[in-house]
Each structure stands twice: as structure tokens, then as C-alpha cells.
Structure 1
Amino acid sequence: MSRTVLERFPAGGPRGSWPAEEFAGARREEGVPARVVMDLESDAFLVIVEQRAPERVRE
């Protein structure tokens, strides 16, 4: 399974502001299965979409 990062948001946003969640919610309304994860190394919230790798056909 692979992940595609759609957008990244700094973790130090204003109190009560959830821009990553709002962005992911808007993508979900468009039919994109986006979700938010925390990248601890960069101290940022990432909006991602997980994609399954195509299955290989066995011969």
C-alpha cells in the first residue's frame, strides 16, 4: 500500500483551528478518501490518501 500526501500543515496553528481536518473533510466530500496523520519528524499534519498497490497476476 502506498500513500500520497495531498497537503501538509504546520502543527503550530492557532488554537481552535484545524486546517488539516477541514482540508481532508473537503476532499472526502469530493469523494477522495483523505485522512490526517501526524508527521512527528517535521512537526506537521499531513493529509494523505492511501492507495493499494495493483495485484500481480500469477502465471
Structure 2
Amino acid sequence: MNERVVLRRFPAGGPRGSWPAEEYARVCRGEGKAAEVVMDLAQDAFLVIVRGREAAVTR
């Protein structure tokens, strides 16, 4: 199963020293979600996602 759910999108052009997608993913992981950050090159954005079985539960 290669499902994924996008929890939140962040523009790639954030200010230097700021990693909002990573910070949000860390909060999600603290809540027990297996969140990870991936790059969507077509939209020039970072996506915080969950994959697999957890994606089905998150929906």
C-alpha cells in the first residue's frame, strides 16, 4: 500500500533559519503520528505527510 495523506503544506520560500514544515512534523510525531516532510517540486512546497496504514486512519 502506497497511500499517503497530506497533513499540511508549506511554501518552499520560507525565511532563512525557519523550518516550519519540520517543526510541524515534529509536533505531529509528538502526538504519535508518523509524520514526515517531503518536497513537492511541481508546487514548490514542502508537504507534511503520513503514509501507509496510518494514512488510512488519518482520513
Q: TM-score range by the shorter chain?
A: 0.7 to 0.9
Task: Tell me the matched-pair count.
Answer: 54
Output the aligned Cα RMSD: 1.7
1:18 maps to 2:19: yes
TM-superposition CA deviations, 1:1-27 (whole Å, max 9, x none): 200000000000000000000000000
TM-score, length basis structure 2: 0.86
**Unpaired runs of at least 5, structure 2:** none
Greater share of helix: 2
Runs of 4+ in structure 1 over 6 Å off: none
User: Bigger radius of gyration, 1 or 2?
Assistant: 1
Identity over the aligned pairs, expressed in percent? 68
TM-superposition CA deviations, 1:10-50 (whole Å, max 9, x none): 00000000000000000000000000000000000000000
TM-score, length basis structure 1: 0.86
